[in-house]
C-alpha cells in the first residue's frame, strides 16, 4: 500500500463572494477558521453565519486594525495534512515453467 499526503482545499470566500465591508471579510475568515478546525469542507453556511454574527457583535467594538489582525489570524489557521492510502493492484498470476517434469519419473 502506498501512502501520500493530501491537503484539503478550504474556501476562503465561503459565505460572501464579493467583499465590500469589514463584516463580510470577518465572516469569511471565521467560516474558514471553523471549517479548518472541524475539518469540514461543507460546514453548513447558515450555522457559520449565525456563529460569526454572535462573535462579530463583540469584536466590532475593537479598532479596525484589531479586527483585521483577527481576520489574518483566522486565515492563518494551520491545515492538517491527511494521510491517504491506496492499494496497488498486483496480478495474482504466477508464471509456471512449461510442461513441468513429474517428481517420480520412471524411465
Tens of pLDDT along 58-95?
999 999 999 999 999 999 988 777 655 544 444 444 44
Task: Measure the CA–CA gap between 56 and 79, rounded to whole angstroms.
Answer: 24
Predicted confidence (pLDDT) per residue in 7-59, tens digit: 667 878 878 888 889 999 999 999 999 988 988 888 899 999 999 999 999 99
For residues 12 and 54, the answer to whether their CB atoms sit within 8 Å is: no
**Lowest-confidence segment of 2-6, 63-67, 96-100 by average pLDDT:** 96-100
Q: Outline where the chain has alpha helix (H).
A: 22-38, 45-59, 64-75
* Nearest CA among 79, 72, 78, 64 for reference residue 29: 72
Amino acid at each position: 500500500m502506498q501512502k501520500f499526503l493530501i491537503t484539503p482545499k478550504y474556501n476562503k470566500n465561503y459565505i460572501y463572494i464579493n467583499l465590500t465591508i469589514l463584516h463580510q471579510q470577518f465572516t469569511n475568515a471565521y467560516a474558514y477558521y471553523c471549517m479548518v478546525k472541524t475539518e469540514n469542507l461543507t460546514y453548513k453556511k447558515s450555522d457559520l453565519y449565525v456563529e460569526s454574527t454572535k462573535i462579530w457583535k463583540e469584536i466590532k467594538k475593537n479598532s479596525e486594525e484589531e479586527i483585521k489582525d483577527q481576520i489574518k489570524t483566522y486565515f492563518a489557521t494551520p491545515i492538517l495534512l491527511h494521510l491517504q492510502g491506496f492499494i496497488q493492484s498486483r496480478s495474482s498470476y504466477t508464471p509456471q515453467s512449461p510442461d513441468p517434469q513429474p517428481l517420480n519419473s520412471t524411465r
